[in-house]
Every structure is written in structure tokens, then in C-alpha cells.
Structure 1
Amino acid sequence: MPYFSRSKYDALIPFFHKNAHFSTIYAAKFKTFAAPKYTREQLELKDGDFLTVDYKLQNHHKTVILCHGLEGNSQRTYINSCADYFLKENFSVFAWNNRSCGGFMNRLPQLYHHASIEDLDAVIQFALSKKSQEIYLIGFSLGAGQVLNYLGRHSEIHSQIKAGIAISVPVEVKACAEALKKGFNQIYMKNFVLDLKKKLHIKAAMFPNLMPWENIKKCKDFDYLDDHFTAPMHGFADKEEYYNKVSPARSLNHITLPVLILNAFDDPFLGPGCFPTATAQNKTNIHLETPKYGGHCAFPVKNSNYSYAEIRALEFIKSIQKINRNT
């Protein structure tokens, strides 16, 4: 029953980071970590769109694929520190950008969401083309949702994929949209909405007859944006269908590979349903760790520029490697 209600992280967090908002904002806005010296390639997709992938090859025998969060990119601080940590452990690293992210607007109308698993599969296929033999998927926030949905929904999971790690993952997307309406959390929501509205204006210029773009100015929160733009752009009837169908909660019972979910109880982005304790207690392959502190995609560690997220991810991967060697 791999549910870790008591986490080692609670003894590692700096005292002044026990405020979830301070921890979250510091990690997102003030902490810096240089990106590795990557090679960048553009992947052409089957539907005519493209993705950009940053990667560094140094060991074909073990690879991590890093998936960023909402309106993030392959060189956000939390991705960079994780990449550097694994490169020092002699892993190859692939960090990819969702459609419209990383400074490149995509060609088609749709953007991306928690269940954009075909795009993740394209990145996995790319890693396989580079002779990656043992692959571990690590996702943050929305990217963590993509990892869980991929492992639970994709029709063919490649044998080279060994495990997944989901950090600060919105297991129930609607609960997260509701959480971001409350109090100080609205600051995060407004920043996301502002960024997404900028992209919608670009899409309006690219596809003027696609939908009533004049409604962009009415977008004040996720309710309106998801109901009038995100859902119809991605083939959903409304925001309720969108929230339900893209939520990783629909995928957990179908995952057969080992998975670690690391969600802090103080995460301001997460709401009810994002801590699937019953699933972890009943499925031997779903490992859930719920530190008291950590914020959202933060998890700072005393006297270290690395976060507990990558430290715990490596520890989990090593445990899976040990099991695989002994079977």
C-alpha cells in the first residue's frame, strides 16, 4: 500500500518556505537555474503541426523526458534544475515544449492540455529514435497530468518506458480551477489567463473565422476561458466535459507501470480529489507522497539549489531499477 502520508521532505524544507505562496512564488519568479547546453530540434507532427525539443545525449541506457506545466516551457527553472540533477547522474535528458510554448506559435488552432498524450508520444518516439533504451517520464503540474494520462490511456506503451513521476499534479482539473478562484490564489489564475489571452489574440489573427474571438475580452477566469475557448478548440462540448475528460483521475486505475505522485498538502493550485489516497492504498504500482509543505512545483531544500522533486524522482527511479534488475 504505497501511500506515504509522512514525507522526508517535511524535515528538509527551509522554515521560511513553510508559507505556500512564498515557496511557490519564489520558485517561479526569483529562483534561477541555467539551462543545460542542449541541442534543439523541431519535430514535425502527423497532423501538420510541430513541437520543439531540447535534449542532451550522454547515456543511451537511461533517459528522462521532462514535461513542463501550464504556460511553461522546456527551460523553466524547475525543468532546468531537474535536468541538471539527472545529467550529473549520467542520464540523457529530453525537455520538450507543448504547442505554442517555448517562444514558437504552433500552426494549427489547438494549443495543448492535460491529455495531449499524442504530442508526448511524439517526443517519446523521438527519444527512441536517439536509441534511448530505458525511459522515465517526469512531469510538473499540467505536464504531470500528461504523464499520468499517457500511461493510463495510450493504446501502446513502449517497452522502454519504465515509470512515471508526477509532481504537483492536478489529478482533478475542475478542483484546481475552483481552487484558483479563492483568495490570493486568484493572482495565479489572472496571470495564466492573461498569458492565454495573448495567445488567443494570435490565433484570432491566424484563424479569423474559427470562433467568436471578440469574446476574448470577456475572459476573466478559467470558467469563461475554458467554456468559450479551451473546450471548443479541443473538441469538447463545454468546460465541464473538458475538466472531466482531461483529468488524470480518469486514468489512474488503468496505469500498470510504477508511478510516483508528489503533491504537497499546502499546494495552492490543488483542490479536493488531487490526493488519491484510496487509489494508492489499493494499487501497488501507484505511489502517493503528500508532504505537509512544498507549494506548487517548488519543494525547496535547505542548503541546496536543487528541489526535493528531482531528488525524490531519482530515488524513486533507482528503486524501480533495482526491482527490475532483480526480476
Structure 2
Amino acid sequence: MDATWHAADFRPPPGLSSRHVQTLLPRCLPRPAVDTDTESLELPDGDFVELAWSQPEPSRPDAPILVLFHGLEGSIESPYARELLNAAAGLGWRAVLMHFRGCGEHPNRLPRAYHSGDTADARWLIGQLSHRYPEAMKVAAGVSLGGNMLAKLVAEQGGRDLDLAGAIVISAPLDLAACADTLSQGFARVYERHLLGSLKRKMLPSLARGELPLSLSPRELEALASLRAYDEAVTAPLHGFDGAEDYYRRASAGPLLDQVELPMLILHADDDPFMPPALFGRLPAPSPSVRVELGRHGGHVGFVEWHGRRLHSWLARRVARQLEAWARPEGLAGWSTGQAISRSGS
């Protein structure tokens, strides 16, 4: 194992180590009851995103803040979203999830959607939080697509241009082309069909009304059989890319990990069915600011463990542990040298 990679301390329960069991199990377990208030945040281009704020909020204006970015077609209803917001709120943090455009309760206004490299809205939100809560420490976490987006944002902005103390990246498709190819093979096609169906259902009404600048009919949209085909016909032309390959190349955060300046924790499973084997072997060595924790098991945003006499989210425990560590006065000072770090083995 490379010196910059560390073994995650995740251990699946006996009989529940399969990548697909781990991926699907969170959808079958009870989810924390999280009360939220919704805010519509206006964006500079005239569109908006919906924010879900965990309630009740801390009364202190300097309470630390967790900003969460969900995955492809995710929302506040995603199992991991409730687990992570609940974990942060339990520590006394202010916790908020940003829905990507069109992923909240209402369709977005402009003839566009969102994508894996779409960092502008997240950057705008973090700037707004900086104005509202200038004294609060802020940490961002991104899951799957949201993780790639967050890693790209942090790498491109540098350590001084974002009001973030740290970032946590979970099960992120850091090589988008390789991940798209992986999802088109074997049992992973089940996940691809599910995601593709959701994307098509959301896009179809706007396409049928002629609101999108696409040379694509509703019937042709329905016929798209893979995420790569969808990205070629919809994502790329809708967002100014020259085809799917150009989108994957320009939006993938993996090649930028050596440029990360902020403390970043990456949590990943070697058996993630959304990813190619040995994903990090395809990428440049990350900067000293990045700690990669790899689990032998865990699936895609799974990491379900036996803890406290029940099945439990290891992700929520691990993220909470990191938030606690970073909130301590010495928590960030030694991060790049590996001193202020988790209890996981290496």
C-alpha cells in the first residue's frame, strides 16, 4: 500500500461483506429522523438551489458548519444524507445539504442541469455561508458525484480562496470515464439503469416542451442505453462540453489531487461496484494535504457495520470522528504530516 494510502478501520458484519450487499443495505435500514428547513438560495445566473438545514440549529453564530453535497440524483432523502447530517448535528454543528439544481422539490429555472464538475454553485454557497457565519469553522463533505465535485473545487481554488477548514470525499468517481465504463458491465448495469431512469424522467418534460437546447427527441432520449450515451447526448452539449470524453476529462477530479492544499480525507472501498479496480493506481499521488483511507469492503457509499448491537453506518461514525478531530485546536495543524489523524490502521 502506498505511503499516502491508509487502511480504513471498517469491518463488515459476517455474511454482509459483498460489494452489492453493502451498496444496497443502507436503503433497507431505518434512517435517522432528521427535521429540516428548506431554503431557496438564489444564484448569480438567475437560477436557484434548495438547501436543507438540519433542525434545530445551534444558537451560537460561531458553531461549526458541515456542508454536504449529495451524489447523482441524490437528495435529503438519500440514506447517507440523513446519517451524515444527524451525525454532525449530534456534535452541535450546524448542518446543511445543498441540492444540486433540480434535485430538490422544484425544477430549476434555466435550460441546464448539473454535472460532476459543476463547482460554481458550491463555491457560491460557501461564499454565502462565509458572509453569514464569518466566525464559524466550515467543513464540506461530498458523496459520490458530490465528492468528485468537491475535490475538484478544492483543488482548483487552492487553500486560501475557500472558507473551508477541510473536506471529506466519500466514494467519489474520480476517474469519470473509467467509472462510466465500469457501470456498463455485469451486475453494475442494475445501478446504471436505475440512475439513467431517474435522469431521463427528470429531463423528459423539459425536452418535450422544447425548453432545452438539444437536438434530441423524447424518443431518442428514452432510447439512450448507458450513462456514457446520456452524457454524450445530454450532459455534454447542455453544459458546453465537446462530447462525453471531453466532459469526463475536464470534470474528473482525480488528476487534480496533487494540487489539493486544504486538509482532505478521502474514504473509498476497493470493492466499490461503481469504480474500476485499483482506482487510485490510475491517479497521480495526492498532495501531502490528502489522506486516502481505503476499505477492502464497503461497496458504493455502503460501509454498514455492526456497532452498538445493531447495523450502523460506519461512514457516519468515521465522519463524526473526523469532525471532532478537526474541531479541536490542534486538529488541523499537523494534518499534512499525518499527526492529527484518525484511529484507523495504516
Q: TM-score w.r.t. structure 1 length?
A: 0.91
Query: 1:68–1:79: 8 Å Cα contact kept in structure 2?
Result: yes
Aligned positions of 1:1-327 closer than 5 A? 3-9=4-10, 12-27=11-26, 29-56=27-54, 57-58=57-58, 59=60, 60-131=62-133, 133-154=136-157, 157-158=160-161, 160-208=163-211, 210-214=213-217, 215-272=220-277, 274-275=279-280, 279-280=284-285, 283-303=287-307, 304=310, 306-322=312-328, 323=330
Instruction: Give 1:273 deviation, angstroms.
Output: 6.5
Query: 1:137–1:164: 8 Å Cα contact kept in structure 2?
Result: yes
Q: Cα RMSD over matched residues? A: 2.2
Instruction: Give 1:234 deviation, angstroms.
Output: 0.7
Query: 1:275–1:290: 8 Å Cα contact kept in structure 2?
Result: no
Please tell me the residue identity of whatever aligns with 1:23: Q
Instruction: Give 1:109 deviation, angstroms.
Output: 1.6
Q: Distance in 2 between matches of 1:210 and 1:37?
A: 38
Q: Distance in 2 between matches of 1:186 and 1:220?
A: 10
Query: 2:143–2:171: 8 Å Cα contact kept in structure 1?
Result: yes
1:107-150 CA-partner distances (Å, limit 9, x unpaired): 11211111111111122133234316100011110011111011
Please tell me the residue identity of whatever aligns with 2:290: I
Query: 1:268–1:295: 8 Å Cα contact kept in structure 2?
Result: yes
Please tell me the residue identity of whatever aligns with 1:117: T
Deviating more after overlay: 157-166 vs 269-278: 269-278
**SS of 1:202's equivalent?**
helix
Query: 1:276–1:288: 8 Å Cα contact kept in structure 2?
Result: no
**SS of 2:295's equivalent?**
coil
Q: Distance in 1 between matches of 2:84 and 2:131?
A: 23
Identity %: 25
Larger helix proportion, structure 1 or 2? 1
**SS of 1:106's equivalent?**
coil
Query: 2:51–2:97: 8 Å Cα contact kept in structure 1?
Result: yes
Instruction: Give 1:206 deviation, angstroms.
Output: 4.3
Q: Distance in 1 between matches of 2:178 and 2:276?
A: 5
Query: 2:255–2:283: 8 Å Cα contact kept in structure 1?
Result: no
Query: 1:279–1:286: 8 Å Cα contact kept in structure 2?
Result: no
**SS of 2:206's equivalent?**
helix
Instruction: Give 1:6 deviation, angstroms.
Output: 2.5
2:341 counterpart residue number = none
Unaligned runs of 5+ in 2: 335-346
1:40-66 CA-partner distances (Å, limit 9, x unpaired): 110111111110001133153311001
Q: Distance in 1 between matches of 2:121 and 2:224?
A: 27
Please tell me the residue identity of whatever aligns with 1:162: A
1:17-56 CA-partner distances (Å, limit 9, x unpaired): 20111111121x3123145212211011111111000113
Unaligned runs of 5+ in 1: none
Instruction: Give 1:324 deviation, angstroms.
Output: 5.1
